[in-house]
Amino acid sequence: MIASLRPTLLFPVSRTSTEANRTGSWRFVRPVYRFKTAPCSAACPAGIDIPTVEMLASRGQIHDAWAHICRENPFPAVCGRVCFHPCEDACNRAELDAPIAINALERYIGDAGLAACSPLVSPAAALLQREVAIVGAGPAGLAAGYFLTQLGISAEIFESTEEPGGVLRWGIPSYRLPKAVLAAEIDRIAAAGVKIHCNRPVNPDTLAEMAARYDAVLVGAGLAAPLRLNISGEASIIDGLAFLKQVQAGSAPVASGEVAVIGGGNTAIDVARTLLRQGARPTIVYRRRRQDMPAFGHEIAAAEAEGVRIVELMAPVSAAADGNGVRMTLQPMRAAEVGADGRVRAVPAKQPPQEMRFKAVFSGIGAGVAEPWHRPADEADAIRLSHCAICRGTPTVGYIGDPVTAENSVAHAIGSGKQAAIALHALFTEGPEAVAPAVDRCRVGPGPALSMEIYLNGERSRRNGRVVTFADVNTDYFLRAERCAIPALAPAAAANGFEEAVATLKPRDALAEAARCFNCGICNDCDNCRIFCPEQTILVGEGGRRSVDLDYCKGCGICTVECPRCAMDMEEESA
Amino acid sequence: MRQVLEGSHAISEAVRLAKVQVVAGYPITPQTHIIEAISQHCADGSLKARFIPVESEHSSMAAVIGAAATGVRTFTATSSHGLALMHEVLHWASAARLPIVMGEVNRALGPGWNIWMDQSDSLAQRDTGWIQLYCEDAQDALDTTLIAFRLAETVNLPAMVVIDAFYVSHTFEPVDVPDQETVDRFLPPLEPRFRIDVDHPQALYPMVGPAFFMEMRRSIQDGMEAAGPAFDAIAGEFESVFGRRHSAVETVGCEDADLVLVTTGSVTSTARLVVAQQREQGKRVGLCKIKQFRPFPAEMIRAVLGSAPRVAVIDRNVSFGSGGIFAREIQGALCPLEQRPAVYSYIAGLGGRDITPETIAEVLRLAEETPAPEAESRWVGLNPDVKP
């Protein structure tokens, strides 16, 4: 009965296609998909394409994420444990809630790659019939070998010790980096075609022999000689680096009681935490303020949590051994003006020197090159790049790793090996003039990090170098979400042994953490552009690649505004 | 089941029971509680609807217009400045023949900034093609919301369910909340007469030139004219299912009255008390509540008020330069009668000023004592100490 009260409806409907109305002619600006550089990737010394890695991980495509990391870094499981992750300091998400746990995710992805025994895949680069010898199987040498192989250049590494890994093996304690993880990632590099010869020390004579046999030699011998304190009684102080090596080899004497470690860098922290695990009570004695310590902040925090004591503003004056230990004379210091290096200097305070007694004292103040030929001579005619130096001659000798990088870290060493590989490839294929422009071209954003994918003209080479800022992110599309908790042993338990102190994320936590990523500057197929376009002009092509149908796009710009991650720009139409 | 409910939540409960599919909303006092409760229903799954938070009321109306065009049941709510901001799209909703239901909480517009009861907001939208139904209390609000969905979907016109700011929206009363099964019997799922369908592409509402525009407008008027009888029929069905009677115009003791008081909204409850008291005192006073303002029930008004000598209309609104809007509509409706009552127009209770039993007694006294209505509406309850 009520249905009979329904009135007749009259309103216009059109079933004619509007295709004839090419609204694109109204446009004076056009949207363009212009992928940009994420701040994390620009901050990564290894140049990893982090926003893409997290996008793949968030979808559960862990193997793809792993393969994507390996384009730029063959050590995800190692770096996921030991990297100082400057990427996280640069993360835009920090301004919304907390940065993405990029380092923990890299470890999760790296471990998944190890568990799957996935081989490294080399891009089909043309074989160059060139051979390069590398001195030293540390991170720089191994990375150089890997990237040279990727570029079709055969690489052979000569390592002086019994096993490859360099500082990763003998320097970094196993509670931070288990030896099995390191060995597995090195084995994978070897399986990718890098020949690694152990027990093959190189000296200037053998270097000359190599020079005759290879098209180039890369020297990546690291920093193996401890710096000296230059105080009286130095002979009673144990070299921290040598101590770490002995611990790795299982031949170190076990320390106990009150011990001191001189220094404020990562070596001092590693020595102190190792001593703690041996049952000793270590005190770090540092001549500047604690905030001036060059060690990574998270390492200092972990050491303190485990029970390492830090005494700041105390400079060693002399050491004297007696039957029961070492008597240290220490000068109290005070913070002074900022020095030429930009750091706050420490100068002696108006207080008399103090004495402290320890069962043993270790030094961990850093290291220098073991041999002068481990770094390029100052007068050498070299192409000096940000992370390596290439000396032109017969043959070409390049220098990689800690001796030539301004900052010393595993990630920088990997970046160094990559830069040298690109430089040699450019040198071999296009000549010396091409080296600097080639390196320049594959910078990630403002650099200095380099991308192999860019060098090989992959998708990243079409990205804009502009680094996406927080203001560029459309935060309407991101709810606050807590950063994942990184599983770790309780500090007291960790300090009890050499078990790994930090664990790998659980799959669910890893995916949720990866999903927090803004994916700054890249398209993650969220389709906001397509949903919001009033003219339905966003086309989805092969592989999900979006494009704009310019016949109908009126240039309103809604797509660009609604893109959450700054992957689009508006551009004026050229007349 | 009887529950103590806030008036706003009587509407949100009705929306939940109506199984609305898309809700858009933007907060504004005193409406916010309606949309807040609905968003909670959506979040906890008690209402399986898509809730679209928007950045303005214009957008919330635009969002439900888009949703309704796909053939789903839709709801939004607003008040005062929010409704004014929607104005442009209100026209669109009606001419597009979309059966959207909107909760509207009567509130004044600024300046002076005022969040209290006043009918200016909804009555300013009287020409937008929306059905307007005014509610007296929380039960009325729940029932009217359910009726509004049936009515809107029968005539394909949008409907506004109007409640008073604070007097109804923020007071708690016992309300009979029906169970889902009973509501389902009264309100079946929407069967859209047209909808956007990707399998049958069409563009709705392209340009209409002078050759057809008038006919299109005439069809809206036809829809409005159908809405009157449709309301009566639906209210009859509602009564048979729920046992509660609602009508476009409700009367109390009008048959023999010398003077009939006309009210809308919550002031009717106060008026019921005053009229009963005066009846006890032997005065032949009647009460007429107008529930349905659009379509205006002119025929019923003539039937109910035509034989009364005097009619006093309380308007909680003013059309500046004219007078009380209900009074003017009633005068217009009575005009065709040869013998028609004297209609006295009173403006009272603007911007949340209380209309007390004393105010109503004053209105009745003035109407009795004034031999013939003045041309202008008379303002009652003004503060004598404030001289304009």
Which residues in chain A have Cβ-Cβ distances shorter than 8 Å to B96? Answer: 11
Question: In this model, does residue A494 exceed pLDDT 90?
Answer: no
A28 touches chain B (CB under 8 A): no
Answer whether A496's CB lies under 8 Å from A66's CB: no
Higher pLDDT, A366 or A48: A48
pLDDT in tens, A507-521: 999 999 999 999 999
Is A13 close to B202, i.e. CB distance below 8 A? yes
Residues whose CB is less than 8 angstroms from the CB of residue A378 and which lie 6 or more positions away in sequence, other chains included = none
Integer Cα distance of B33 and A11 in angstroms: 35
For residue B387, tell me if it sits in a domain: no
How many other C-beta atoms can be found within 10 angstroms of the C-beta atom of residue A24? 17
Answer whether A113's CB lies under 8 Å from A88's CB: no
Which residues in chain B have Cβ-Cβ distances shorter than 8 Å to A12? Answer: 204-208, 212, 216
- What are the domain boundaries of chain A? 23-35+523-572, 40-118+474-516, 131-224+369-440, 227-366
Residue A124 pLDDT = 64
In this structure, of A105-109, A162-166, A493-497, B212-216, the range with the lowest mean pLDDT score is: A493-497
- pTM reported for the whole predicted model: 0.78
Give yes or no: residues B93 and B168 share one domain: yes
For A24-92, the DSSP string reads: GGG-SEEEEE---B-HHHHH-TT---HHHHHHHHHTT-HHHHHHHHHTT-S-HHHHHHH---HHHHH-G
Ramachandran category for residue A431: left, alpha or beta (phi over 0 → left; psi -120 to 50 → alpha): left
Residue A380 pLDDT = 79
Integer Cα distance of A76 and A74 in angstroms: 6
Cα A225 to the center of its chain, rounded Å = 25
Distances (CA, A) of A193 to A151, A187, B158, B323: 12, 10, 73, 93
CATH topology identical between A23-35+523-572 and A40-118+474-516: no
Question: In this model, does residue A440 exceed pLDDT 90?
Answer: yes
Radius of gyration of chain A from its Cα atoms, rounded to whole angstroms: 28
Integer Cα distance of B287 and B312 in angstroms: 10
Q: Which of B208, B242, B276 is the last residue of a domain?
A: B242
Mean of the per-residue pLDDT values of chain A: 93
Length of chain B, please?
A: 388
pLDDT in tens, A114-124: 999 989 887 66
Residue A255 pLDDT = 81
Buried b (16+ CB within 10 A) or exposed e, B201-212: eeeeeeebeeee
Give the residue from A5, A8, A562 with the most B CB atoms within 10 Å of its CB, the best one to mutate: A5
pLDDT in tens, A94-110: 999 999 999 999 999 99
Answer whether B142's CB lies under 8 Å from B114's CB: no
Higher pLDDT, A253 or A333: A333
Give yes or no: residues B360 and B222 share one domain: no
Q: Which residue of B has its CA nearest to A15?
A: B202
Integer Cα distance of B217 and A386 in angstroms: 75
Radius of gyration of chain B from its Cα atoms, rounded to whole angstroms: 21
Cα A13 to the center of its chain, rounded Å = 60
Residue B21 pLDDT = 98
Of residues A123, A127, A144, the one with CA closest to residue A135: A144
Give yes or no: residues B368 and B230 share one domain: no
pLDDT in tens, A141-150: 999 999 999 9
Residue A2 pLDDT = 83
Give yes or no: residues B109 and B235 share one domain: yes
Integer Cα distance of B103 and B251 in angstroms: 25
Among the partner-chain residues B201, B212, B219, the one whose CB lies closest to the CB of A9 is: B219
Buried b (16+ CB within 10 A) or exposed e, B56-73: ebbbbbbbbbebbbebbb
Integer Cα distance of B139 and A349 in angstroms: 83
Residue for token pair 């905030």: A291
Q: Among the CATH numbers 3.80.30.20, 3.50.50.60, 3.40.50.2300, 3.40.50.300, which is that of A227-366?
A: 3.50.50.60
pLDDT in tens, A305-340: 999 999 999 999 999 988 889 999 999 999 988 888
Answer whether A495's CB lies under 8 Å from A277's CB: yes
- A410 burial via Cβ count (<10 Å: 0-12, 13-18, 19+): buried
A4 touches chain B (CB under 8 A): no
Give yes or no: residues B254 and B231 share one domain: no
Question: In this model, does residue A341 exceed pLDDT 90?
Answer: no
Answer whether A6's CB lies under 8 Å from B154's CB: yes
Give yes or no: residues B236 and B289 share one domain: no
B219 touches chain A (CB under 8 A): yes
Higher pLDDT, A343 or A272: A272
Integer Cα distance of B125 and B129 in angstroms: 8
Q: Which residue of A has its CA nearest to B235?
A: A2
Integer Cα distance of A119 and A117 in angstroms: 6
Start-to-end CA distance of chain A, whole Å, equals 65
Higher pLDDT, A253 or B68: B68
pLDDT in tens, A220-252: 999 988 888 888 888 899 999 999 999 988 887
| Residues linked to residue A13 through DSSP beta bridges, in sequence order | B204
Give yes or no: residues B137 and B193 share one domain: yes
Distances (CA, A) of A17 to A13, A22, B201, B203: 12, 11, 9, 9
Evaluate the CA torsion angle B93, B95, B97, B101 in order and state its sign.
positive
B 123-152 residues with CB < 8 A to A? 150
Residue A234 pLDDT = 87
How much is the average pLDDT of A345-360? 92
Start-to-end CA distance of chain B, whole Å, equals 51
Question: In this model, does residue A476 exceed pLDDT 80?
Answer: yes
* Domain extent for B294: 249-379
Length of chain A, please?
A: 575
CA distance A10 to chain B (A): 5
Give the CATH number of domain A23-35+523-572. 3.30.70.20
Residues whose CB is less than 8 angstroms from the CB of residue A573 and which lie 6 or more positions away in sequence, other chains included = A27, A28, A29, A30, A555
Which residues in chain B have Cβ-Cβ distances shorter than 8 Å to A20? Answer: none
For residue B292, tell me if it sits in a domain: yes
A479 touches chain B (CB under 8 A): no
Q: Which of B190, B211, B242 is the last residue of a domain?
A: B242
B203 touches chain A (CB under 8 A): yes
Helix (H) or strand (E) holding B362: helix B357-369
How much is the average pLDDT of A27-36? 96
Quote the tokens at residue A372. Answer: 């002068």
Residue for token pair 């001289």: B387
| Residues linked to residue A399 through DSSP beta bridges, in sequence order | A219, A389
Is A5 close to B154, i.e. CB distance below 8 A? yes
Answer whether A34's CB lies under 8 Å from A560's CB: no
Quote the tokens at residue B58. Answer: 């214009």
- Domain count across chain B: 2
Maximum distance among all Cα pairs of chain B, rounded to whole angstroms: 69
Integer Cα distance of A457 and A44 in angstroms: 20
A12 touches chain B (CB under 8 A): yes
Residue A125 pLDDT = 67
A7 touches chain B (CB under 8 A): yes
Answer whether A261's CB lies under 8 Å from A291's CB: no
Is B226 close to A13, i.e. CB distance below 8 A? no
Of residues B98, B119, B115, the one with CA closest to residue B22: B98
A9 touches chain B (CB under 8 A): yes
Is A14 close to B193, i.e. CB distance below 8 A? no
Evaluate the CA torsion angle B213, B214, B215, B217 in order and state its sign.
positive
Instruction: Quote the percentage of chain A above a pLDDT of 90.
Output: 75
pLDDT in tens, A411-432: 999 999 999 999 999 999 999 9
Helix (H, G, I), strand (E, B) or coil at A114: helix
CATH topology of domain A40-118+474-516: Fumarate Reductase Iron-sulfur Protein; Chain B, domain 2 (1.10.1060)
Q: Which ipTM did the prediction report?
A: 0.89
Integer Cα distance of A566 and B7 in angstroms: 45
Q: Which of B191, B211, B242 is the last residue of a domain?
A: B242
Answer whether A441's CB lies under 8 Å from A463's CB: no
Among the partner-chain residues A2, A6, A9, the one whose CB lies closest to the CB of B234 is: A2
Give yes or no: residues B179 and B270 share one domain: no
For residue B384, tell me if it sits in a domain: no
CA distance B207 to chain A (A): 8
pLDDT in tens, A458-471: 999 999 999 999 99
The CATH number of residue B338's host domain is 3.40.50.920
Give yes or no: residues B210 and B328 share one domain: no
B7 touches chain A (CB under 8 A): no
Could you report the average pLDDT of every consecutive run of 10 residues in chain B (388 residues)? Answer: 96 98 97 98 97 97 98 98 98 98 98 97 98 98 98 98 98 97 97 94 92 96 97 98 98 96 98 97 97 98 96 98 97 96 98 97 97 95 89
Residues whose CB is less than 8 angstroms from the CB of residue A35 and which lie 6 or more positions away in sequence, other chains included = A462, A463, A464, A521, A522, A523, A567
Higher pLDDT, A463 or A575: A463
B 12-51 residues with CB < 8 A to A? none
Residues whose CB is less than 8 angstroms from the CB of residue A45 and which lie 6 or more positions away in sequence, other chains included = A86, A407, A409, A411, A412, A414, A415, A448, A449
Q: Among the CATH numbers 3.50.50.60, 3.40.50.300, 3.40.30.10, 3.40.630.40, which is that of A131-224+369-440?
A: 3.50.50.60
Quote the tokens at residue B94. Answer: 């009606």
Is B216 close to A12, i.e. CB distance below 8 A? yes
For residue B385, tell me if it sits in a domain: no
Among the partner-chain residues B154, B193, B203, the one whose CB lies closest to the CB of A18 is: B203
A276 band by pLDDT with thresholds 50, 70 and 90: very high
Answer whether A460's CB lies under 8 Å from A473's CB: no
B212 touches chain A (CB under 8 A): yes
Residue B149 pLDDT = 98
Among the partner-chain residues A1, A7, A18, the one whose CB lies closest to the CB of B223 is: A7
